[in-house]
Structure 1
């Protein structure tokens, strides 16, 4: 072996020995941790120092930026025998070192009250000059599935496709849905088609045997929730009977409306007729002159002479003459009008004209 080759080999071995004897993080890196929101997580970072590491100890945890154009965000730091926890306002009060004295070889941290925004790649960097090392790990904060809702889409009738749906309002992907029948044969119908990702079960050409209680479970890597529904497959509806009932109902409504309109029309015509009758009475001829005034035109003597010359034997047609043809006697002239009241003429409601007043005052 040439001298130059021996020098290169010795140098490489010395470098490897120096790295082997320097600071090392013993915790595994490149791992992925899934945790539910609201929970807590411990990010492990154990390290050992070499005898040659004599500088000050610095520990830094940071959230690696997903874009190389951005800077990593410091989460917590230990430097100069002092802990600094307020670098990230979103994690203030939620992140701590597990050890009260991290320089003893435990740089692990705990993060509580996990949120979706805590997800990302975390890096633990430990430095004690001349030694330095780092490890990365991925944290995924997942949301537990919310309580799902089980329901039936469309009519559940024999001979039709019945769709069973299971939906949840929240939950981190991927979500997996499973269905089972918990009554009867406790197996899904042979014609059922299950969609594990969408949470749908389609029972094709459903029959009465598909009726029963169904159970759905939605789950992800951090939790699960469930719901149930009752399926009752009914015989097909009599559409002809329903249509006939609707038509009959419409006809009855039209008949009732027609009767109401007819009654209103008849009442209006009756009111119009009564009004016309009242107008005819108002336009009647004036009442005849009072008989009392006619009687005063005769003198007592002329009455006697006239009555003396007139007798039933001389007047053969006397018996057929109207009572209005009689000459009133003197007693009748003296009789007050109130003794012979005249029948009142027909009146219209709410009207009393001068003609009717004259009729009411005249004697018979």
Structure 2
């Protein structure tokens, strides 16, 4: 029985002693006996007629050789390099030299070392709570064993701790601040070990009520700020809308330019006012003319004059004639 770790080198022993009666050619043969008895033996390497033949088993090509380059010396041991888990099996060495024959079986077990071991913490790290330290290797042949130790502060584990070597769990009951520190886990099997560590910080319980109150206050403040922003946006939108409407109304309410008839009326009205202020002595020279002869709104502007042209008082007086002032 031989146990080796994956990636290592193994030497399967096969030594022999020739007798004087052994006169035939030397023949050394290594075969792999399958676990299934229904299958044939697989030749791995052979020495015959002073030659070595090692191309029978592709799975080990380049990874096997005779320990002694000249097996005739009585050493037909086999070296297998860079072992793999698939190399596990029963190997048989056969030595033949007529009329003598010898054979030997060796059980090889290739084990995988623990690897990629990870440590973790499960449960709240608070005073008075139960905390579980977990350790697990992602690689490694069974049976794996786990062991926890404390590497900072007090070296021994807390008195309330409970270790399960098979699962790698370390339970710390009713944790206190003294439990804080660095813990290391070692995973092992028959061919190797692997290690990981984790930092434990035991703290006072969290003030849940304060956190809830803070969250509510924060939410209300957020809603208030959001409402204020919405109010500002709406107010600004209404102001812009109002300015636009006022501007539009002003443009629609602008009166059109005065026509010639309106200008004439204004002047007539002003002259009536002035005539009304005249004394009877000042009105003797005017000839009476019926009011119906007052110029109509179709008073035409003389050519070449702009819209602001205004007739003189003499022209107005001449048009309307004598006006009786009441």
Q: TM-score by structure 1 length?
A: 0.70
Aligned match of 2:119: 150
Deviation, structure 1 residue 272:
2.6
Deviation, structure 1 residue 45:
0.9
* Structure 2: tracts of 5 or more residues without a match: 281-304, 309-326
Aligned match of 1:100: 69
Aligned match of 2:228: 259
**2:104 is equivalent to residue 135 of structure 1:** yes
Deviation, structure 1 residue 290:
6.0
Distance 2:192 2:155 in 1: 25
* Segment drifting more, 91-100 vs 56-65: 91-100
Deviations 1:151-208 (A, max 9, x none): 2223211121111122223222222111111233311112212121222211122111
Deviation, structure 1 residue 220:
1.6
Aligned match of 2:22: 53
Deviation, structure 1 residue 250:
0.8
Aligned match of 1:67: 36
Deviations 1:200-235 (A, max 9, x none): 211122111211221211112222122222211111
**2:138 is equivalent to residue 201 of structure 1:** no
**2:149 is equivalent to residue 180 of structure 1:** yes
Query: CA 1:125/1:280 → structure 2, altered by over 3 Å: closer, same or farther?
Result: same
Distance 1:278 1:75 in 2: 103
Q: 2:277 aligns with which of 310, 317, 338?
A: 310
User: What are the equivalent positions in structure 2 for 1:153-172 lying under 5 Å apart?
Assistant: 153-172=122-141
Distance 1:62 1:139 in 2: 13
Aligned match of 1:109: 78
**2:269 is equivalent to residue 269 of structure 1:** no
CA RMSD, 1 decimal: 3.0
**2:206 is equivalent to residue 229 of structure 1:** no
User: What are the equivalent positions in structure 2 for 1:20-35 lying under 5 Å apart?
Assistant: 32-35=1-4
User: What are the equivalent positions in structure 2 for 1:279-290 lying under 5 Å apart?
Assistant: 279-284=248-253, 286-287=255-256, 289=258
* Structure 1: tracts of 5 or more residues without a match: 1-31, 314-333, 338-364
Q: TM-score by structure 2 length?
A: 0.78
Distance 1:236 1:49 in 2: 80
**2:105 is equivalent to residue 119 of structure 1:** no
Distance 1:94 1:298 in 2: 128
